Structure 1
């Protein structure tokens, strides 16, 4: 649509012109946050596994191990509540030298960009580049939030006074074919998300 027509409102606006005026870079506002997260997460190359109950989480974890042949290997894990998954599959996680993957939870899932937000509670003081290339993340649907501001607000409420450090997001889950300035300094991870329905 020409600038003249926009200012003076002359003439009818065709459907094509309306579509041309729409900003294709803004997220669709009418999508629920869970759908928005799923679409953006998959677009970023993440592997999404939905689980109805905790039994399915254990089953799908086993499937990921089988798919990648990660049996009898070392894993990195800092959260005692996840040790049972590793123990039942006879994986070594006590002071690993060459871990094949990290098993962790997360602070939240950012729907707006399809990323996963971590803190020192899950990854200690490790930078994303220092973590194994393979990640298996266990999260729940109640952790899906609209944007990073919502996620930081949630951390503030959750921890009250003893805020975690090393708050970082991982957004890219496969190597970019054409690296551009948006990918500069980011680390791509082969990431599986085991998402448990808890709402």
Structure 2
């Protein structure tokens, strides 16, 4: 394809011309990690709520509570820095016996598979199947990393020698229509992600 046609988009291209422009030896173009995460996360059934300020986080959290009628219910939350969201909305998070949802942060957002990586810092020693079916996760755009290897390196740098335990990822956010071996042993969660822009 000529340079003039590429710039101005005139003329029809044939598949032969398109293939001639792409070499087998050139790497394929890859999406930016934030776009890759968003696409894969939604494909897995997650609900994505973009926030550009803390006030927006508070408003989106309130919208989630209204949508699900989660007022005056018990909530599982292990992180004191999130208690203000629960206090502002009069939700019980101390000594809960049957929480409707968990409010937590995460270690990382894994772009290449659209999953969320947790550790004992967020979910203590609970396995995914022991957590409530509904999850509201607060994360920032700086936590989006390309793959699990990068996420584990990030945990190693972040905690120096006091490494967290129970590192686990949750990938599926809706029940699979057709159960296959890829979903075996995984637990589907109804998950809302409040993603704050911090870059």
- Bucket of the pairwise TM-score, normalised by the shorter protein: 0.7 to 0.9
Runs of 4+ in 1 over 2 A off after TM superposition: none
Task: Provide the rounded CA distance (Å) in 2 between the counterparts of 1:95 and 1:106.
Answer: 22
CA RMSD of aligned residues (A): 1.4
Label 1:111 to 1:119 Cα distance change in 2 as closer, same or farther (>3 A). Answer: same
Matches within 5 A, 1:1-199: 15=15, 29-199=29-199
Label 1:29 to 1:114 Cα distance change in 2 as closer, same or farther (>3 A). Answer: farther
For normalisation by structure 2, the TM-score amounts to 0.87
1:95 shift after superposition: 1.2
Structure 2: 5+ residue stretches without partners: 1-13, 20-27
1:29 shift after superposition: 4.7
Superimposed CA distance per residue, residues 102-153 of structure 1 (whole angstroms, 9 cap, x where no aligned partner): 0000000000000000000000000000000000000000000000000000
Superimposed CA distance per residue, residues 31-89 of structure 1 (whole angstroms, 9 cap, x where no aligned partner): 00000000000000000000000000000000000000000000000000000000000
Q: Secondary structure at the match of 1:156?
A: helix
Q: Secondary structure at the match of 2:153?
A: helix
Task: Provide the rounded CA distance (Å) in 2 between the counterparts of 1:120 and 1:29.
Answer: 36
Q: What is the number of equivalent residue pairs in this alignment? A: 177
For normalisation by structure 1, the TM-score amounts to 0.87
